[in-house]
Protein backbone atom coordinates (compact mmCIF):
# COMPACT_ATOMS: atom_id res chain seq x y z
CA UNK A 1 0.00 0.00 0.00
CA UNK A 2 1.30 3.46 -0.85
CA UNK A 3 0.52 5.97 1.84
CA UNK A 4 -0.58 9.25 0.32
CA UNK A 5 1.55 12.15 1.55
CA UNK A 6 0.03 15.51 2.46
CA UNK A 7 -0.76 18.02 -0.27
CA UNK A 8 1.69 20.38 1.39
CA UNK A 9 4.63 18.00 1.23
CA UNK A 10 3.94 17.26 -2.42
CA UNK A 11 4.74 20.87 -3.22
CA UNK A 12 8.40 20.48 -2.27
CA UNK A 13 11.49 18.50 -3.29
CA UNK A 14 14.30 17.11 -1.16
CA UNK A 15 17.24 19.54 -1.16
CA UNK A 16 18.93 18.96 -4.56
CA UNK A 17 22.40 19.54 -3.14
CA UNK A 18 21.79 17.00 -0.38
CA UNK A 19 20.47 14.53 -2.99
CA UNK A 20 23.50 15.03 -5.25
CA UNK A 21 25.86 14.66 -2.33
CA UNK A 22 24.15 11.41 -1.32
CA UNK A 23 24.45 10.11 -4.90
CA UNK A 24 28.17 10.97 -5.06
CA UNK A 25 28.75 9.26 -1.70
CA UNK A 26 26.83 6.19 -2.85
CA UNK A 27 29.00 5.88 -5.98
CA UNK A 28 32.10 6.33 -3.82
CA UNK A 29 30.96 3.58 -1.46
CA UNK A 30 30.65 1.30 -4.51
CA UNK A 31 34.39 1.83 -5.07
CA UNK A 32 34.04 4.47 -7.85
CA UNK A 33 36.65 7.21 -7.99
CA UNK A 34 34.55 10.30 -7.31
CA UNK A 35 35.60 13.88 -6.59
CA UNK A 36 32.75 15.92 -5.19
CA UNK A 37 32.60 19.72 -5.31
CA UNK A 38 28.97 19.62 -4.22
CA UNK A 39 28.91 20.19 -0.49
CA UNK A 40 28.23 23.66 0.83
CA UNK A 41 30.46 23.21 3.82
CA UNK A 42 34.04 23.93 4.84
CA UNK A 43 36.46 21.03 4.54
CA UNK A 44 38.28 22.34 7.63
CA UNK A 45 37.79 20.70 10.97
CA UNK A 46 35.96 22.67 13.67
CA UNK A 47 38.72 24.60 15.51
CA UNK A 48 39.92 22.77 18.61
CA UNK A 49 39.12 25.51 21.17
CA UNK A 50 35.48 25.24 20.03
CA UNK A 51 35.48 21.46 20.39
CA UNK A 52 37.00 21.79 23.85
CA UNK A 53 34.12 24.04 24.93
CA UNK A 54 31.67 21.34 23.81
CA UNK A 55 33.60 18.65 25.68
CA UNK A 56 33.50 20.81 28.79
CA UNK A 57 29.73 21.24 28.38
CA UNK A 58 29.37 17.46 28.33
CA UNK A 59 31.64 16.77 31.29
CA UNK A 60 30.05 19.49 33.42
CA UNK A 61 26.55 18.24 32.70
CA UNK A 62 25.08 20.84 30.31
CA UNK A 63 23.26 18.08 28.53
CA UNK A 64 19.61 18.92 29.12
CA UNK A 65 16.94 21.00 27.38
CA UNK A 66 17.77 24.68 27.42
CA UNK A 67 15.54 27.75 27.20
CA UNK A 68 13.65 27.60 23.90
CA UNK A 69 15.41 30.70 22.56
CA UNK A 70 18.90 29.63 23.65
CA UNK A 71 21.14 29.89 26.71
CA UNK A 72 21.47 33.46 28.07
CA UNK A 73 25.27 33.44 27.64
CA UNK A 74 24.99 32.71 23.92
CA UNK A 75 22.25 35.28 23.43
CA UNK A 76 24.46 37.82 25.18
CA UNK A 77 27.36 36.91 22.84
CA UNK A 78 25.07 37.38 19.82
CA UNK A 79 23.90 40.72 21.23
CA UNK A 80 27.58 41.81 21.53
CA UNK A 81 28.42 40.52 18.05
CA UNK A 82 25.68 42.69 16.50
CA UNK A 83 26.68 45.70 18.60
CA UNK A 84 30.42 45.46 17.96
CA UNK A 85 30.58 44.14 14.40
CA UNK A 86 27.42 45.54 12.82
CA UNK A 87 26.62 48.55 15.05
CA UNK A 88 23.12 47.17 15.53
CA UNK A 89 21.27 47.12 18.79
CA UNK A 90 18.99 44.13 19.43
CA UNK A 91 17.59 43.42 22.87
CA UNK A 92 17.78 39.84 24.15
CA UNK A 93 14.04 39.47 23.44
CA UNK A 94 14.87 40.21 19.78
CA UNK A 95 17.23 37.24 19.42
CA UNK A 96 16.33 33.58 18.83
CA UNK A 97 18.94 30.81 18.66
CA UNK A 98 17.93 27.84 16.49
CA UNK A 99 19.24 24.57 15.08
CA UNK A 100 20.98 26.17 12.09
CA UNK A 101 20.07 29.09 9.85
CA UNK A 102 17.76 26.76 8.00
CA UNK A 103 15.58 26.40 11.08
CA UNK A 104 15.70 30.17 11.63
CA UNK A 105 14.30 30.64 8.11
CA UNK A 106 11.74 27.89 8.59
CA UNK A 107 10.57 29.51 11.86
CA UNK A 108 10.29 32.86 10.11
CA UNK A 109 8.27 31.47 7.20
CA UNK A 110 5.88 29.61 9.52
CA UNK A 111 5.48 32.59 11.81
CA UNK A 112 4.97 35.20 9.11
CA UNK A 113 3.38 33.83 5.98
CA UNK A 114 -0.21 33.12 5.05
CA UNK A 115 -1.51 31.12 2.12
CA UNK A 116 -0.94 32.95 -1.17
CA UNK A 117 1.39 35.57 0.29
CA UNK A 118 4.21 36.30 -2.14
CA UNK A 119 7.88 36.10 -1.25
CA UNK A 120 10.45 37.73 -3.51
CA UNK A 121 13.60 35.68 -3.98
CA UNK A 122 16.44 36.78 -6.28
CA UNK A 123 17.86 33.97 -8.45
CA UNK A 124 20.27 32.29 -8.41
CA UNK A 125 19.09 31.48 -4.90
CA UNK A 126 20.07 29.13 -2.11
CA UNK A 127 18.20 25.92 -2.93
CA UNK A 128 16.04 25.81 0.19
CA UNK A 129 14.37 29.23 0.06
CA UNK A 130 11.55 28.36 -2.37
CA UNK A 131 10.67 25.12 -0.61
CA UNK A 132 10.67 26.66 2.87
CA UNK A 133 8.28 29.30 1.49
CA UNK A 134 6.02 26.75 -0.21
CA UNK A 135 5.85 24.65 2.94
CA UNK A 136 4.42 27.73 4.66
CA UNK A 137 1.71 27.95 1.96
CA UNK A 138 3.15 31.06 0.31
CA UNK A 139 4.29 31.61 -3.28
CA UNK A 140 7.91 32.27 -4.26
CA UNK A 141 8.31 35.06 -6.81
CA UNK A 142 11.67 34.58 -8.48
CA UNK A 143 13.64 37.55 -9.79
CA UNK A 144 16.12 36.39 -12.43
CA UNK A 145 19.58 37.90 -12.60
CA UNK A 146 22.45 37.11 -14.92
CA UNK A 147 26.17 37.52 -15.31
CA UNK A 148 25.74 41.03 -16.82
CA UNK A 149 24.23 42.30 -13.58
CA UNK A 150 26.77 40.28 -11.58
CA UNK A 151 23.90 38.11 -10.34
CA UNK A 152 22.45 40.95 -8.25
CA UNK A 153 18.93 42.32 -8.62
CA UNK A 154 18.38 45.89 -9.75
CA UNK A 155 16.07 48.27 -7.85
CA UNK A 156 13.67 48.46 -10.83
CA UNK A 157 13.28 44.68 -10.77
CA UNK A 158 12.37 44.76 -7.11
CA UNK A 159 9.96 47.64 -7.66
CA UNK A 160 8.19 45.79 -10.48
CA UNK A 161 7.94 42.54 -8.53
CA UNK A 162 6.29 44.03 -5.44
CA UNK A 163 2.50 43.63 -5.40
CA UNK A 164 -0.08 44.03 -2.67
CA UNK A 165 0.47 40.33 -1.91
CA UNK A 166 4.20 40.70 -1.26
CA UNK A 167 4.94 39.85 2.35
CA UNK A 168 8.66 39.04 2.40
CA UNK A 169 11.83 39.80 0.46
CA UNK A 170 14.90 37.58 0.99
CA UNK A 171 18.38 38.88 0.31
CA UNK A 172 21.58 36.84 0.66
CA UNK A 173 25.00 38.48 0.47
CA UNK A 174 27.65 37.07 0.10
CA UNK A 175 25.56 34.78 -2.01
CA UNK A 176 25.31 31.06 -2.29
CA UNK A 177 25.78 30.10 -5.17
CA UNK A 178 27.51 33.08 -6.82
CA UNK A 179 29.71 34.64 -4.13
CA UNK A 180 28.38 38.07 -5.18
CA UNK A 181 28.28 40.76 -2.52
CA UNK A 182 25.92 43.76 -2.62
CA UNK A 183 27.78 47.05 -2.20
CA UNK A 184 26.52 49.77 0.17
CA UNK A 185 25.23 51.76 -2.84
CA UNK A 186 23.37 48.77 -4.23
CA UNK A 187 21.81 48.06 -0.84
CA UNK A 188 20.83 51.71 -0.46
CA UNK A 189 19.07 51.61 -3.85
CA UNK A 190 17.11 48.48 -2.87
CA UNK A 191 16.29 50.03 0.50
CA UNK A 192 14.89 53.09 -1.24
CA UNK A 193 12.38 50.85 -3.04
CA UNK A 194 11.51 48.97 0.15
CA UNK A 195 10.88 52.18 2.08
CA UNK A 196 7.99 52.84 -0.31
CA UNK A 197 6.37 49.49 0.58
CA UNK A 198 5.94 49.28 4.34
CA UNK A 199 4.07 45.96 4.17
CA UNK A 200 7.19 44.11 2.96
CA UNK A 201 9.29 42.37 5.62
CA UNK A 202 12.97 41.82 4.81
CA UNK A 203 15.01 38.73 5.66
CA UNK A 204 18.74 39.19 5.20
CA UNK A 205 20.64 35.91 5.20
CA UNK A 206 24.13 36.84 6.38
CA UNK A 207 25.50 33.35 6.99
CA UNK A 208 28.58 34.06 4.80
CA UNK A 209 29.24 37.43 6.50
CA UNK A 210 32.78 36.52 7.54
CA UNK A 211 33.79 34.70 4.36
CA UNK A 212 34.52 37.75 2.28
CA UNK A 213 37.77 39.04 0.80
CA UNK A 214 36.86 41.85 -1.55
CA UNK A 215 36.33 45.50 -0.69
CA UNK A 216 33.90 46.97 0.27
CA UNK A 217 33.57 44.91 3.41
CA UNK A 218 30.34 43.29 4.57
CA UNK A 219 27.18 45.31 4.97
CA UNK A 220 23.58 44.26 5.14
CA UNK A 221 20.54 46.27 4.16
CA UNK A 222 19.79 47.25 7.77
CA UNK A 223 23.25 48.63 8.48
CA UNK A 224 22.82 50.76 5.35
CA UNK A 225 19.22 51.83 5.98
CA UNK A 226 18.34 51.94 9.70
CA UNK A 227 14.77 53.02 8.86
CA UNK A 228 14.12 49.36 7.99
CA UNK A 229 14.82 48.30 11.60
CA UNK A 230 11.17 47.58 12.44
CA UNK A 231 10.76 45.10 9.60
CA UNK A 232 14.11 43.43 9.02
CA UNK A 233 15.10 40.00 10.34
CA UNK A 234 18.76 39.05 10.22
CA UNK A 235 19.59 35.38 9.84
CA UNK A 236 23.11 34.29 10.70
CA UNK A 237 24.95 31.41 12.34
CA UNK A 238 28.21 29.64 13.02
CA UNK A 239 27.97 26.88 10.39
CA UNK A 240 30.12 28.39 7.65
CA UNK A 241 32.51 30.84 9.32
CA UNK A 242 33.61 28.42 12.05
CA UNK A 243 33.39 25.15 10.10
CA UNK A 244 30.50 24.01 12.32
CA UNK A 245 27.87 22.78 9.85
CA UNK A 246 27.17 19.64 11.86
CA UNK A 247 26.67 21.43 15.17
CA UNK A 248 23.46 23.05 13.88
CA UNK A 249 23.47 26.52 15.42
CA UNK A 250 21.96 29.53 13.69
CA UNK A 251 20.23 32.61 15.01
CA UNK A 252 17.73 35.28 14.04
CA UNK A 253 17.48 38.87 15.22
CA UNK A 254 14.68 41.30 14.48
CA UNK A 255 11.49 42.88 15.81
CA UNK A 256 10.46 41.36 19.16
CA UNK A 257 6.91 40.71 17.92
CA UNK A 258 8.00 38.38 15.10
CA UNK A 259 10.82 36.77 17.11
CA UNK A 260 8.19 35.86 19.74
CA UNK A 261 6.11 34.06 17.10
CA UNK A 262 9.19 32.30 15.68
CA UNK A 263 10.01 31.12 19.19
CA UNK A 264 6.51 29.62 19.41
CA UNK A 265 7.17 27.60 16.22
CA UNK A 266 10.46 26.38 17.63
CA UNK A 267 8.96 25.48 21.01
CA UNK A 268 6.52 23.17 19.22
CA UNK A 269 9.10 21.60 16.87
CA UNK A 270 12.64 21.14 18.20
CA UNK A 271 12.12 22.67 21.70
CA UNK A 272 15.61 24.17 21.95
CA UNK A 273 18.87 24.03 20.03
CA UNK A 274 21.36 21.37 21.21
CA UNK A 275 22.78 22.36 24.61
CA UNK A 276 26.31 21.18 23.81
CA UNK A 277 26.39 22.95 20.45
CA UNK A 278 25.28 26.17 22.10
CA UNK A 279 28.35 26.13 24.35
CA UNK A 280 30.51 25.44 21.30
CA UNK A 281 28.88 28.38 19.46
CA UNK A 282 29.49 30.59 22.50
CA UNK A 283 33.19 29.83 22.29
CA UNK A 284 33.13 30.37 18.50
CA UNK A 285 31.70 33.88 18.94
CA UNK A 286 33.71 34.90 22.01
CA UNK A 287 36.97 33.03 21.38
CA UNK A 288 40.00 33.68 19.19
CA UNK A 289 38.94 34.70 15.66
CA UNK A 290 42.21 33.91 13.88
CA UNK A 291 40.76 30.54 12.81
CA UNK A 292 38.22 32.43 10.66
CA UNK A 293 40.90 34.61 9.06
CA UNK A 294 43.05 31.54 8.30
CA UNK A 295 40.16 29.74 6.60
CA UNK A 296 39.16 32.82 4.59
CA UNK A 297 42.74 33.18 3.38
CA UNK A 298 42.73 29.57 2.21
CA UNK A 299 39.37 30.05 0.42
CA UNK A 300 40.70 33.10 -1.38
CA UNK A 301 43.75 31.20 -2.58
CA UNK A 302 41.63 28.33 -3.87
CA UNK A 303 39.17 30.76 -5.41
CA UNK A 304 41.92 32.34 -7.51
CA UNK A 305 43.16 28.96 -8.63
CA UNK A 306 39.74 27.66 -9.70
CA UNK A 307 38.68 30.93 -11.32
CA UNK A 308 41.80 31.13 -13.46
CA UNK A 309 41.43 27.53 -14.57
CA UNK A 310 37.74 27.89 -15.42
CA UNK A 311 38.28 31.04 -17.45
CA UNK A 312 41.12 29.36 -19.35
CA UNK A 313 38.42 27.16 -20.95
CA UNK A 314 37.07 29.29 -23.76
CA UNK A 315 33.50 27.96 -23.57
CA UNK A 316 33.20 28.86 -19.87
CA UNK A 317 32.53 32.30 -18.40
CA UNK A 318 32.94 32.81 -14.71
CA UNK A 319 32.90 35.97 -12.60
CA UNK A 320 35.17 36.27 -9.59
CA UNK A 321 33.37 35.67 -6.31
CA UNK A 322 33.80 38.27 -3.57
CA UNK A 323 32.94 35.91 -0.76
CA UNK A 324 31.48 32.51 0.31
CA UNK A 325 33.21 29.46 -1.19
CA UNK A 326 31.54 28.86 -4.53
CA UNK A 327 32.04 29.76 -8.15
CA UNK A 328 29.06 29.88 -10.46
CA UNK A 329 30.15 29.33 -14.03
CA UNK A 330 28.19 29.92 -17.23
CA UNK A 331 28.45 26.71 -19.26
CA UNK A 332 25.69 27.52 -21.76
CA UNK A 333 28.20 27.31 -24.64
CA UNK A 334 28.26 23.54 -24.08
CA UNK A 335 24.50 23.27 -24.41
CA UNK A 336 24.02 23.10 -28.14
CA UNK A 337 23.43 20.65 -30.95
CA UNK A 338 27.05 19.66 -31.35
CA UNK A 339 27.18 18.35 -27.78
CA UNK A 340 24.75 15.88 -26.34
CA UNK A 341 23.82 18.11 -23.47
CA UNK A 342 20.31 19.40 -23.64
CA UNK A 343 20.63 21.03 -20.21
CA UNK A 344 22.98 21.81 -17.35
CA UNK A 345 21.45 18.83 -15.53
CA UNK A 346 22.46 16.48 -18.37
CA UNK A 347 25.96 17.94 -18.44
CA UNK A 348 26.35 17.45 -14.68
CA UNK A 349 25.08 13.84 -14.97
CA UNK A 350 27.60 13.22 -17.72
CA UNK A 351 30.46 14.62 -15.62
CA UNK A 352 29.49 12.38 -12.73
CA UNK A 353 29.16 9.19 -14.75
CA UNK A 354 32.03 9.69 -17.22
CA UNK A 355 34.55 11.64 -15.14
CA UNK A 356 33.59 10.89 -11.55
CA UNK A 357 33.14 14.60 -10.91
CA UNK A 358 30.15 15.77 -8.85
CA UNK A 359 28.93 19.37 -9.30
CA UNK A 360 25.57 21.09 -8.87
CA UNK A 361 23.60 22.25 -11.94
CA UNK A 362 22.53 25.89 -12.05
CA UNK A 363 18.91 24.75 -12.44
CA UNK A 364 18.90 23.78 -8.77
CA UNK A 365 19.46 27.46 -7.96
CA UNK A 366 16.89 28.72 -10.45
CA UNK A 367 19.56 29.62 -13.06
CA UNK A 368 19.86 26.99 -15.80
CA UNK A 369 22.95 27.04 -18.01
CA UNK A 370 25.39 27.18 -15.09
CA UNK A 371 27.30 24.92 -12.75
CA UNK A 372 28.25 25.56 -9.14
CA UNK A 373 31.64 24.44 -7.89
CA UNK A 374 32.40 24.53 -4.17
CA UNK A 375 36.06 25.24 -3.53
CA UNK A 376 35.85 24.29 0.13
CA UNK A 377 38.14 21.37 -0.57
CA UNK A 378 41.90 20.78 -0.85
CA UNK A 379 43.91 22.30 -3.70
CA UNK A 380 45.04 18.84 -4.79
CA UNK A 381 41.46 17.69 -5.19
CA UNK A 382 40.46 20.96 -6.86
CA UNK A 383 43.22 20.60 -9.46
CA UNK A 384 42.24 16.98 -10.14
CA UNK A 385 38.57 18.02 -10.42
CA UNK A 386 39.34 20.80 -12.88
CA UNK A 387 41.41 18.47 -15.04
CA UNK A 388 38.52 16.04 -15.15
CA UNK A 389 36.16 18.84 -16.12
CA UNK A 390 38.37 20.04 -18.97
CA UNK A 391 39.27 16.59 -20.26
CA UNK A 392 35.64 15.55 -20.37
CA UNK A 393 34.10 18.66 -21.89
CA UNK A 394 36.73 20.09 -24.22
Q: Which residues of the shown chain bind ligand PLP in the complex (CB under 6 A)?
A: 40, 100-102, 126, 172, 176, 205, 207, 237, 239, 245, 250
Number of residue whose CB is nearest ligand PLP: 100
Shortest spacing between CB 365 and ligand PLP, in angstroms: 10
What is the 8-class DSSP label of residue 5? P
CA distance 31 to 108: 42
Q: Are 341 and 335 in contact (CB under 8 A)?
A: yes
Number of neighbouring beta carbons within 10 Å of residue 261: 15
3-state helix, strand, coil in the chain (%, to 5): 45, 15, 40
Select 101 or 347, whichever has its Cβ closest to ligand PLP. 101
Select 176 or 355, whichever has its Cβ closest to ligand PLP. 176
DSSP 331-364: -GGGSSTTSS-SSHHHHHHHHHHHH-EE-EEGGG
Shortest spacing between CB 127 and ligand PLP, in angstroms: 8
Select 241 or 393, whichever has its Cβ closest to ligand PLP. 241
What is the 8-class DSSP label of residue 227? G
Shortest spacing between CB 243 and ligand PLP, in angstroms: 11
Shortest spacing between CB 250 and ligand PLP, in angstroms: 4
Shortest spacing between CB 170 and ligand PLP, in angstroms: 9
Helix (H) or strand (E) segment spanning residue 166: strand 166-172
Shortest spacing between CB 350 and ligand PLP, in angstroms: 25
Select 160 or 269, whichever has its Cβ closest to ligand PLP. 269
Cα dihedral 44→47→53→58 (10° resolution): 30
Residues 6+ apart with CB under 8 A from 198: 231
Shortest spacing between CB 205 and ligand PLP, in angstroms: 5
Select 237 or 369, whichever has its Cβ closest to ligand PLP. 237
Shortest spacing between CB 387 and ligand PLP, in angstroms: 27
Select 101 or 348, whichever has its Cβ closest to ligand PLP. 101
Q: Are 294 and 278 in contact (CB under 8 A)?
A: no
Listed residue (110, 113, 85, 115) closest to 96, CA to CA = 110
Select 86 or 239, whichever has its Cβ closest to ligand PLP. 239
CA distance 173 to 228: 17
Select 250 or 369, whichever has its Cβ closest to ligand PLP. 250
Amino acid sequence: MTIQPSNRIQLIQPSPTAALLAHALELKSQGKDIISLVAGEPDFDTPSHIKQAAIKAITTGFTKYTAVDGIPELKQAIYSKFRDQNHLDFGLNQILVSSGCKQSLFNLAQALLNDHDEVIIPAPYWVSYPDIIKLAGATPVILKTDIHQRFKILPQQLQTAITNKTRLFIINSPSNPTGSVYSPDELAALAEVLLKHPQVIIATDDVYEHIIWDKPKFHNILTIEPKLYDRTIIINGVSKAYAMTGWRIGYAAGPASIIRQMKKVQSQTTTSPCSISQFAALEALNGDQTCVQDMVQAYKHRHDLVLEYLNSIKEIRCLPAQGAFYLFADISAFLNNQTNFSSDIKLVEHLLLKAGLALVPGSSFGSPGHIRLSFATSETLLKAALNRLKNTLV
